[in-house]
Amino acid sequence: MNAASKKAILIVSFGTSYENTRKRTIDAIERDIADAFPACLAYRAWTSKMIIAKLKKRDGIIIHTVKEAMEQMLLDGITDVIVQPTHVINGIENDQMKADALSFRDRFSSIVFGNPLLTTEEDNQAVVQAVAGEFQDMDQETALVLMGHGTEHYANSVYAALDYRFKDMGHKNIFLGTVEAYPALDSLLRAADSFQPKKIVLAPFMIVAGDHAQNDLAGEDPDSWMNRLSSEGYEVTPVLKGLGEYPKIRQILVDHVQQAMNASI
């Protein structure tokens, strides 16, 4: 990189309208990345236009889309961009984010991408260790049931693979499903029945503990995971803590920025 070049990191999240979880997750990830790479300017973009519009109308907060952030970086004289998503998987949101950023490829010296949270086998192993570590005080007769988002994108297969990996790494009492795809709650119920836990801890497997966590996971609706599991006779404790609150999860994303930097040299 020559002396005249200016490098920035664009941190891209889906977004959330829940301020409390945003401060503990997205804000914390952005802060950790900015602290780790003080020579780079850090920028934010969100991919959910619905959430961006909601925050603008409700709170008067302006958050850039990926394209708006790229335009802002051009105005600020940035020449080289590392785009680091906080997305969990290489799904639809990540594909669209890449397309939006790459539409500017002729206007920057370089645009490189860091990987989403679950990309390599090393990532999967590190995530299993990070999640299991957060719940290490849980006894073996208690099951941890994690709610991922799920997607129609083929990358959804990573959820079933990770559920298997939890078991393979010795965590027989950790179950991972999704709210919108496979494995669904019915699959988890069958698995939990065979494990026969005395209690169930329910937690989101998403960067933020936002709408899905508040409603689909722990909401009052009879179809919420908490109520479905409770109706099966389990004693259920919800833990509304997004993955972005786990220091070791944030560190994986910081490492992904470093890997992208190394690849761009």
Alpha-helix runs per DSSP H in the chain: 19-24, 26-36, 49-59, 66-75, 92-102, 121-134, 157-168, 185-195, 211, 225-231, 247-264
User: What letter does residue 154 receive in the DSSP assignment?
Assistant: G
Structure tokens at 52: 């961006």
Q: Which entry of 64, 149, 212, 256 is annotated as an active-site residue?
A: 149
Residue with structure tokens 């780790």?
A: 36
CB 65 within 8 A of CB 44: no
CB 206 within 8 A of CB 88: yes
Among 146, 122, 150, CA closest to 134: 146
* Amino acid at the residue 207: I
CB 177 within 8 A of CB 186: no
Exposure string over 8-22, b if 16+ CB within 10 A, otherwise e: bbbbbbbbbbbeebb
Active site residue 149: yes
Structure tokens at 47: 């991919």
SS3 220: coil
Q: CA–CA separation, 113 vs 123, rounded Å?
A: 16
Structure tokens at 245: 């609150």
Residues involved in catalysis: 149
